[in-house]
Structure 1
Amino acid sequence: MDDNQHWEQICQRCGECCFEKKIDKKGTVLTTSVPCRFLDIHTRNCRIYHQRLQAEEDCIKLTPDNLAGLDWLPLNCAYRKHLNL
């Protein structure tokens, strides 16, 4: 198993990162109840996962290098827990 496969297996597929975000007047990022158009809300899986970065300009590939700067991820995100963020 390569490093990318190991990283992908950490995700618990909650789908929380796939809901639209808004920034309030104070700069706080708020998660809305509006899912990405490609998120299957029942399974919480992306319907176009392998093409998501090309199809959706707002989709961000989560990596160990960029995770610390993504303060909008929920505290219970498996990636955050894995990296102790």
Structure 2
Amino acid sequence: MHFLLQGLLQAFDLLLSGDAATYSAVAATVTVSGYAMAASLLIGLPAGFALGYYHFPGRRHVRTLVDTLLALPTVFIGLM
């Protein structure tokens, strides 16, 4: 537990230090996360609506695929 607290304090020190490299890394992370969220919304909302509202051939297979991909851990997919 002490190790986690020490790491958290070090992270706050880096954020408050005003280091340009730290702010650059944080800005890149926030930017990429924002683009990923926007892409997920643009794809996921219409797809979710279509899967929930419309009945079409193969719907069950698509839902099974989506549920399977949601169940897999992110790290496992990243290692593939």
Structure 2 length as normaliser, TM-score? Answer: 0.25
More helix by percentage: 2
More strand by percentage: 1
Structure 1 length as normaliser, TM-score? Answer: 0.24
Higher relative contact order (CA 8 A, sep 6+): 1
Greater radius of gyration (CA)? 2
